[in-house]
Amino acid sequence: MADTDIQSGCIGGSSLVASLASEEVEFLLSPRAKVPLQSLHGKKICLFFSANWCRPCKSFTPLLLQLFDTLRKKRQELEIIFISFDHDEQEFNDYYKCMPWLAVPFNSNLHRKLSEKYHVDRIPSLIPLNPDGVSVEDDSIDLVEDYGAEAYPFTALRREQLKAIDHAKRRGAKIEELLAHDEQSYVVSRDGRKVPISQLVGKTIGLYFGAYWCPPCRAFTGQLTEAYNELIGTTKRDSLEIILVSTDRDLKEFEVNMSSMPWLAIPYEDRIRQDLGRIFNVKGIPALIFIGPEGKTVSTNGKEMISLYGAKSFPFTESRIAEIEETLKREGEKLPQQVKDMKHEHVLKLDMAKAYVCDECKKQGKYWAFSCEVCDYDLHPTCVQDQQEL
Ligand SMILES: [Zn+2]
Ligand SMILES: [Zn+2]
């Protein structure tokens, strides 16, 4: 190779080509043939540092394959070059079989030199080279994990743009913008029926993040079902829908989870599930996000609302919760602080409880109760007999 080719200035990959050439690398591998180094000139290049023995690499490589395929379909120029950390050539060959992109021929020393040059301190690592041929962008593994092919061209600017889009969606986005994309425009019911996202427009939507393997989710599903059935059975029938955003481990588990739910779900294979978790910054499950009929996020704390106030909290706005709490407060003000009931030996005190069973009528109670501080004894305020105010 002529020096002038290597030193030809502001062309993508020229610094890489120079490094490779100085290590006596004469060509790259492609799945079909050897590729001369010069063919890298002017191309958008990403270096992929990885190894067959590395577990995180194994879970990342399918994402990169998907990205590569999507970009090829969109005719986006990108060369990925695999730089192997494998122990030997056999391992390298086994791993490279799954890759449709280029590779530096196996060399047990070269990967150290290149990882030093590009400041790679862990694998997998995906380092995009800038068009100036010298500087590089930050490791883009996380960007690809979060955004898939949308991450292209992996620049700091693209990173900012994607964050800004997420932020705008978190603040408020039409339900179509939030849930539909090029490949999917429907949600599913538990019997497999496809419901177009356009049918959800104008409703209050609850995005329920949960999984069957998580016991608190299964408990919350019960509470949510109760509130949902109550609302769906009223005039609010057409104004609410819940959509499961499953974090189940596989399709089978998702189906089991869904079988107990009367609402809809994002199809398990739809990648928008991950996007929604990221957009709404969901850190734990169960979580319930409510989107208002205008497409504005009305609450990120729907789980707490449903647990405390059930169907009453509809339409899940802060002002509705303030209203409920004000009403409860006023109810409490009308009640005595403590009473003596003829059926019970101790004084009973006014108390606020999430849930209790009344020891007189044996029915469930919520909010105000008269409770014994000595033993486990609760009464509905309306079930106190021979009430004497103390
Ligand atoms: Zn009672
Ligand atoms: Zn008692």
- Is residue 388 scored above 80 in pLDDT? no
* Residues 6 or more apart in contact with residue 375 via CB below 8 angstroms: 346
Round to whole Å and give the CA distance between 388 and 383. Answer: 13
Instruction: Say how far apart CA 224 and CA 242 lie, in whole Å.
Output: 9
Q: From CA 324, how far away is CA 188, in angstroms rounded?
A: 33
Q: What is the pLDDT of residues 173-218, one digit of tens each?
A: 889 999 998 888 999 999 999 999 999 999 999 999 999 999 999 9
Q: Assess whether pLDDT exceeds 90 at residue 235.
A: no
3-class DSSP state of 175: helix
Name the pLDDT band for 353 (thresholds 50, 70, 90).
confident
Residue 152 has pLDDT above 60, yes or no: yes
- How far does the centroid of ligand 2 lie from the alpha carbon of residue 383, in Å? 16
Residue 390 pLDDT: 59
**What local confidence, expressed as pLDDT, does residue 1 receive?**
39
Q: Identify the residue whose tokens are 């030093």.
A: 116
Going by C-alpha positions, the residue among 242, 246, 210 that lies closest to residue 228 is 242
Cα 270 to Cα 95, 179, 199, 246, 264, distances in angstroms? 28, 10, 18, 10, 14
Please say whether the beta carbons of 8 and 14 come within 8 A.
yes
Owner of token pair 């106190």? 384
Helix, strand, or coil (residue 278): helix
Q: Please report which ligand is nearest the Cα atom of 343.
A: 2
User: What pLDDT does residue 349 have?
Assistant: 95
| pLDDT for position 136 | 85
Strand order in the sheet with 194-196: 194-196, 186-188, 264-265, 240-246, 204-210, 287-291, 297-299
Structural contact between residues 190 and 259, judged by C-beta atoms closer than 8 angstroms = yes
Q: Determine the distance separating the centroid of ligand 1 and the alpha carbon of 333, expressed in angstroms.
A: 20
Q: Is the pLDDT of residue 14 over 90?
A: no
Q: Which ligand is nearest to the CA of 361?
A: 1
Cα–Cα distance measured from residue 339 to residue 145, given in angstroms and rounded to the nearest whole number: 60
Nearest ligand, CA of residue 384?
A: 1
Bridge partners, 347 (sequence order): 340
> Distance (Å, rounded) from C-alpha 289 to C-alpha 117?
45
Three-state secondary structure readout of 306-367: HHHHHHHHCCCCHHHHHHHHHHHHHHHHHCCCEEECCCCCCEEEEEEEEEEECCCCCCEEEE
pLDDT at 4 over 60: no
**Mean pLDDT, to the nearest integer, of 327-334?**
94
Closest alpha carbon to 36 in 102, 83, 93, 92: 102
For the segment 247-263, the average pLDDT, to the nearest whole number, is 95
Q: What does the alpha-carbon distance between residue 192 and residue 235 come to, in Å, rounded to a whole number?
A: 26
The whole-angstrom separation of Cα 201 and Cα 197 is: 7
Segment 95-122 shows an average pLDDT of 92
Using the mean position of ligand 1's atoms as its centre, give its distance from the Cα of residue 354 in Å: 15
* Distance between Cα 384 and ligand 1 center (Å): 8
Over 50: is that where the pLDDT of 81 sits? yes
pLDDT of residue 211: 97
Structural contact between residues 266 and 246, judged by C-beta atoms closer than 8 angstroms? yes
CA of 377 to the centre of ligand 2 (A): 6
Lowest mean pLDDT among 123-137, 153-167, 301-315, 344-358: 123-137
Residue 348 CA to ligand 2 center (angstroms) comes to: 7
| Structure-block tokens of residue 231 | 């609302």
What integer is the mean pLDDT of 164-168? 94
How much distance in Å is there from the Cα of 310 to the middle of ligand 2?
30
C-alpha 380 – ligand 1 centre gap (Å): 4
Distance between Cα 349 and ligand 2 center (Å): 10
The pLDDT, as a whole number, for residue 389 is 60
Say whether pLDDT at 255 is over 60.
Answer: yes
- Domains of the chain (ranges; CATH) run 3-160 (3.40.30.10), 175-325 (3.40.30.10), 335-389 (no CATH)
**What pLDDT does 12 receive?**
54
pLDDT in tens, 369-378: 999 999 999 9
d(CA 119, CA 115): 6
